[in-house]
């Protein structure tokens, strides 16, 4: 799989007259840290889509078909609860964890007050919280639970609370403490951590992750009365460069690295795109697209996008999604699964979207199938769920893992900005 990704990548078809020059950066030695990302084994498209809609409060309006000849796979039956232990070699901060059934997020190990817990890295939110001994008993079940009493460095942040709502059903709230957080060797001694006393069912059931590490901008952190900084903001000053890179692979593994841009992880030019942090997100201009070798078209509904590691799919403006699936043989919008599906043997076209004003990033068609979602009962053929789905006309496009996996991405506090390049 890995080789295929590198070969299939077609990033940076510049549609400006000039290609973006390669940044010249001195090779520096110093503080940088990496943490491997561990995949969860079973990914279920419709659940991933529902989760994304919930996170951003998107209300889906389906005008799809009720298909009589389509039998969806029941995610609770089909996906085994087998634990998939993937130990990854790492140069700094050795890492291993488990992947379990359920949604489709990627998780990585984090050490809080000396206790190792597997958490979801989320560049789409700015609160760090972990299921703890303060959480309801039902929420502790099946989770690795952080115990503040067993940490010699934990301090309660008196009077502080956090309350994060990702959408109608998805939330966590409770008290806040400070502790030492170590992510792959990058350490913050006074990191604010939410200890939820209330959690939505989605987080309780999601035993593959024990909390979130919010890596968006601190202006949307929900701790009150005194807003707190994200791990990334706290660690930035001690890093060689104030960057976090995401090198995510199509096979579900990957690496997050803090403090350095590893020149061996990408090839060709890196595009530096300016970020508007006003809304708290890694938000950038993305106002054009093309399907396959087709003409460039405008994105008018939401010409901006956010880079969100905490979202599985790529959620684009409706005009992008309609234009794309009009080029996919046998594609239908299915009510039963809430998104576009098509026969798995269909060859998908590439999709190019603008990153900033000068560059198109191309996601190869081979990376745009998300998962098998059922079978066609007429033909017996497997039916697949698309990795590209609609943002239902909301004001942001959410470029999640399906998009991010096709490139090497730098989350850069300078600017702030995002760097995009073709993976090595």
Ligand X SMILES: *[C@@H]1O[C@H](CO)[C@@H](O)[C@H](O)[C@H]1NC(C)=O
- Residues identified as active-site: 122, 308
**In the complex, least distance from residue 1 CB atom to ligand X, rounded to whole angstroms:** 26
Task: Find the shortest distance in angstroms from Cβ 325 to ligand X.
Answer: 12
Which position's Cβ is nearest ligand X?
Answer: 414
Residue 67 touching ligand X (CB under 6 A)? yes
Question: Which of 64, 376, 392, 424: binder of ligand X (CB under 6 A)?
Answer: 376
Contacts of ligand X in 113-172 (CB under 6 A): 163, 165
Q: Using the rule CB under 6 A, is 419 a contact of ligand X?
A: yes
Question: Is 64 a residue that touches ligand X (CB under 6 A)?
Answer: no
Task: Round to whole Å and give the CA distance between 261 and 394.
Answer: 33
**Rounded distance, CA 344 to CA 382, Å?**
6
- 383 contributes a contact to ligand X by CB under 6 A: yes
Only one of the segments 56-64, 71-79, 348-356, 372-380 lies at the binding site for ligand X (rule: CB under 6 A); that segment is: 372-380
β-bridge pairing 171-183 and 106-112: antiparallel
**Sign of torsion over alpha carbons 194, 195, 201, 202:** positive
> CB 204 → ligand X: shortest distance, Å?
16
Q: Tell me the torsion sign for CA atoms 206, 389, 66, 166.
A: positive
In angstroms, the first-to-last Cα distance of the chain is 14
Report how many residues bind ligand X under the rule CB under 6 A.
21
- Per-residue burial over 29-45, b if 16 or more Cβ lie within 10 Å, else e, is eebbbbbbbbbbbbbbb
107 Cβ neighbours under 8 A, 6+ residues apart: 37, 38, 40, 97, 99, 118, 119, 120, 121, 208, 209
- Residue 338: CB minimum distance to ligand X, A: 14
Interaction with ligand X in 233-292: which residues (CB under 6 A)?
272
What residues from 173 to 192 belong to the interface with ligand X (CB under 6 A)? Answer: 173
CA distances 138 to 133, 169, 301, Å, are: 11, 17, 42
Asked if residue 70 binds ligand X (CB under 6 A), the reply is yes
Where does this chain bind ligand X (CB under 6 A)?
23, 67, 69-70, 163, 165, 173, 272, 330, 332, 343, 376, 378-379, 383, 410, 412, 414-415, 417, 419
């Amino acid at each position: 799989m890995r080789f295929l990704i590198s070969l299939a990548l077609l990033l940076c078809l510049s549609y400006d007259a000039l290609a973006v020059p390669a940044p010249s950066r001195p090779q520096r030695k110093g503080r940088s840290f990496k943490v491997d990302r561990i995949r969860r084994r079973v990914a279920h498209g419709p659940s991933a889509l529902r989760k994304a809609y919930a996170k951003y409060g998107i209300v889906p309006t389906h005008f799809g078909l009720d298909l009589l000849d389509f039998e969806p796979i029941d995610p609770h039956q089909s996906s085994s609860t087998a634990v998939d232990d993937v130990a990854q070699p790492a140069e700094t901060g050795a890492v291993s964890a488990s992947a379990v059934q359920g949604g489709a997020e990627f998780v990585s190990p984090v050490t809080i007050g000396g206790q190792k817990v597997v958490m979801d890295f989320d560049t789409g939110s700015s609160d760090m919280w972990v299921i703890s001994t303060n959480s309801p008993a039902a929420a502790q079940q099946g989770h690795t639970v952080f115990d503040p009493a067993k940490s010699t460095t934990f301090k309660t942040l008196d009077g502080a609370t956090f309350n994060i709502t990702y959408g109608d059903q998805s939330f966590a709230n409770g008290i806040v403490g400070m502790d030492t957080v170590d992510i792959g060797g990058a350490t913050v001694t006074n990191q604010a951590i939410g200890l939820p006393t209330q959690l939505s069912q989605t987080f309780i059931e999601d035993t593959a992750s024990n909390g979130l590490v919010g890596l968006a901008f601190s202006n949307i952190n929900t701790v009150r009365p005194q807003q707190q900084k994200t791990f990334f903001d706290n660690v930035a000053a001690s890093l060689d460069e104030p960057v976090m890179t995401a090198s995510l692979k199509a096979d579900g593994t990957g690496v997050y690295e803090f403090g350095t841009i590893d020149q061996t992880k990408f090839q060709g030019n890196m595009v530096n795109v300016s970020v508007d942090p006003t809304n708290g997100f890694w938000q950038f201009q993305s106002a054009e697209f093309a399907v396959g070798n087709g003409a460039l078209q405008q994105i008018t509904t939401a010409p901006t996008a956010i880079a969100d590691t905490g979202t599985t799919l790529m959620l684009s403006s409706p005009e992008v999604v309609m234009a794309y699936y009009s080029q996919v043989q046998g594609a239908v919008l299915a009510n039963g699964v809430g998104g576009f599906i098509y026969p798995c043997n269909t060859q998908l076209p590439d999709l190019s979207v603008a990153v900033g004003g000068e560059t198109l990033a191309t996601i190869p068609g081979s990376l745009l199938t998300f998962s098998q979602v059922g079978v066609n009962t007429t033909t017996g053929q497997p039916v697949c769920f698309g990795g590209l789905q609609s943002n239902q006309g909301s004001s942001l496009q959410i470029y999640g893992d399906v998009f991010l996996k096709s490139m090497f991405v730098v989350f850069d506090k300078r600017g702030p900005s995002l760097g995009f390049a073709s993976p090595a």
